[in-house]
Amino acid sequence: TIAKQYVDFVSETQLQRKGYQQDPEYRAKLRAATKKMWQDPEYRAKQKAALKNKGSRANPS
């Protein structure tokens, strides 16, 4: 049926996201880069402030 074909099409295309790499080498590079960024005190302070402010805007009380 057409409904089943549509569901199959959607499920197949969602699994093939373009530009998303899952290989271990890419993930290791990303993990190393993220770790390096978080070791920078300026970056860490900026991110902590952003996260703190995000919570306060969501809950004004």
Query: Structural domain boundaries of the chain?
Result: 24-55
pLDDT (average), residues 25-34? 89
Look at residue 2 and tell me whether its pLDDT is greater than 80: no
Which pLDDT score is estimated for 41?
Answer: 93
Q: How far apart are CA 7 and CA 1, in angstroms?
A: 10
Distance of CA 37 to the CA centre of its chain: 16
pLDDT (average), residues 8-15? 62
**36 or 56, higher pLDDT:** 36
**37 or 23, higher pLDDT:** 37
DSSP class per residue in 28-48:
HHHHHHHHHHHHSHHHHHHHH
Token code pair at residue 60: 């004004």
Short-list 27, 49, 26, 46, CA closest to 37: 46
Which pLDDT score is estimated for 32?
Answer: 94
Whole-prediction pTM value? 0.49
Quick check: 44 and 38 in contact, CB under 8 A? yes
